[in-house]
Amino acid sequence: MKFVIARAFGAMVLLVASMAAANAANIEVKIDNFSYSPQTVTVKAGDTVTWTNGDDIPHTVTSKTGAFRSKALDTDDKFSFTFTTPGAFPYFCALHPHMTGSIVVEASGGT
């Protein structure tokens, strides 16, 4: 009997672990009127950020450190990047360098 309970508990732990892995979020950043909105986003490692260009002129999403770089995004074009490494990831628009934003990635594990 004890063995059966231990097996059931083990299955529950596996289920919870797989739910946590499926918990990775997709965060939206809108490009509008020559700015990224929200300008700074805090995500967890494993999350994906998707930028959408709402302007009718092209913009890019270009990492200052080379971590990621989109092509020129036309109206309604999207660019996605999955952040796996904790840290700060400042970026800008290569076509309008005064446009800046930042993604802050926190470690996913722990609690």
Please give the residue ranges that form the binding site for Cu ion (CB under 5 A). 59, 93, 95-96
CA angle, 96 then 38 then 108, to 5°: 115
The least distance separating Cu ion from the CB of residue 60, rounded to whole angstroms, comes to 6
The least distance separating Cu ion from the CB of residue 34, rounded to whole angstroms, comes to 6
Least distance between Cu ion and beta carbon 5 (Å): 60
Cα–Cα distance, 58 to 33 (Å, whole number) = 11
**92 or 105, CB closer to Cu ion?**
92
Nearer to Cu ion, 46 or 55 (CB): 55
Cβ distance to Cu ion smaller for residue 10 or 54: 54
Nearer to Cu ion, 44 or 96 (CB): 96
* Ramachandran angles phi, psi of 90, nearest 5°: -70, 145
Q: How far is the CB of 51 from Cu ion (least distance, A)?
A: 11
